[in-house]
DNA sequence: GATAAAGGATACCACAATAGTATCATTTAT
DNA sequence: ATAAATGATACTATTGTGGTATCCTTTATC
């Protein structure tokens, strides 16, 4: 079981790298060289970060990406939301109602508590706090 | 992302059902009838619960399974350990050391904190507490 | 002792999610 | 005009999850 998938991990690394550049535009070739992430995969990831308003994109020669907002306002939670859409820990148990209600409800409450904690913690981890 | 996979979920249901029987031996046909879990899959699951000392097995006609220890000493955490072997939330980030140390360590600490909480909570959920 | 009803062991298959590739189109600095 | 960048999108590969199938061993009961 992975809390953080490869997409999210790569996105995190790229964002940390870009954040350190202090607003300078960074292009894919440099990121590939530095981070050793497969080029086409990285491009896909950066494109989605752009679509979701995390990065600003600049086309054409000399183009690239920079952060679209301050590093302290980009959170791990946001990335999870992009790459591991609307994840919730208690998936199985809700969708199919096979289990007797008592157990379902007892378990649901406990799992929900865990989920709330995890989400809260992930909302506190910003790019800024990682490069600090 | 799923905290609980199908194996674990089915194991949980089966254990709750068996626990309610108060030490009586329960055979697969009854469990299949009551829980609507595919028979071969359920058999595989029960066998592994037996191997891991959660269930006692009785072969031959009239055989079946019963709990190998009190319901209040069987925890969701144990099942996770069986079916989602040695899971850890921060998998990606450890195995491959691509990321600069600062970020790795900063993130590791935060993820570890989350993981400790989740494990602790899962260790508190017993079969007994679910059949209340 | 034969038989049928149980579990033990193990190899296999299907599908979905994750991870990664390839290609062509569009924009823009020089 | 050209080369260097991103945009869009379709495709492929690998892996993990979920599930089957088959044959073997044990044991209660007649």
Nearest CA in chain B to A129: B106
| Verdict on whether the full-model pTM lies above 0.85 | yes
Beta bridge partners of A26: A65
Q: What is the DSSP letter of B23?
A: T
Contact A125, A75 (CB under 8 A): yes
Give, as ranges, the nucleotides of chain D with any atom within 7 Å of a protein CB: 3-10, 17-22, 25-29
C17 closest protein residue (CA to C1'):
B1
C1’ D25 / CA B115, Å: 43
Beta carbons within 10 angstroms of residue B58's beta carbon? 12
Whole-number Cα distances in Å, B55 to B6, B35, B45, B48: 19, 17, 11, 9
Judge whether B106 is closer than 8 Å to chain A, CB to CB: yes
Place of tokens 């055989």: B63
CA distance A84 to B58: 43
Half-sphere exposure of A131 (CA within 13 A, CB side): 18
Return per-residue pLDDT of chain A as tens, 132 residues: 778 889 999 999 999 999 999 999 999 999 999 998 999 999 999 999 999 999 999 999 999 999 999 999 999 999 999 998 767 666 544 444 445 555 556 788 888 899 899 999 999 999 999 987
- What secondary structure letter does DSSP report for B96? S
Domain ranges of chain A: 6-87+127-131
Please state which of the four CATH numbers 3.40.50.720, 1.10.10.10, 3.60.15.10, 4.10.91.20 is assigned to the domain occupying A6-87+127-131: 1.10.10.10
Strand C closer than 7 A to residue B47 Cβ: yes
CATH code, residues B6-131: 1.10.10.10
SS3 A65: strand
């Amino acid at each position: 079981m992975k809390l953080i998938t490869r997409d999210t991990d790569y996105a995190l690394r790229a964002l940390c790298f870009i954040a350190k550049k202090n607003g300078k535009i960074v292009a894919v070739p440099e990121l590939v060289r530095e981070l050793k992430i497969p080029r086409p995969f990285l491009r896909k990831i950066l494109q989605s970060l752009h679509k979701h308003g995390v990065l600003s994109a600049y086309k054409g020669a000399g183009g690239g990406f920079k952060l679209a907002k301050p590093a302290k306002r980009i959170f791990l939670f946001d990335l999870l939301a992009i790459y591991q859409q609307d994840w919730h820990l208690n998936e199985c148990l809700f969708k199919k109602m096979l289990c007797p209600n008592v157990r379902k409800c007892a378990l649901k409450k406990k799992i929900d508590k865990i989920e709330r904690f995890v989400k809260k913690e992930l909302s506190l981890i910003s790019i800024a706090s990682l490069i600090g």
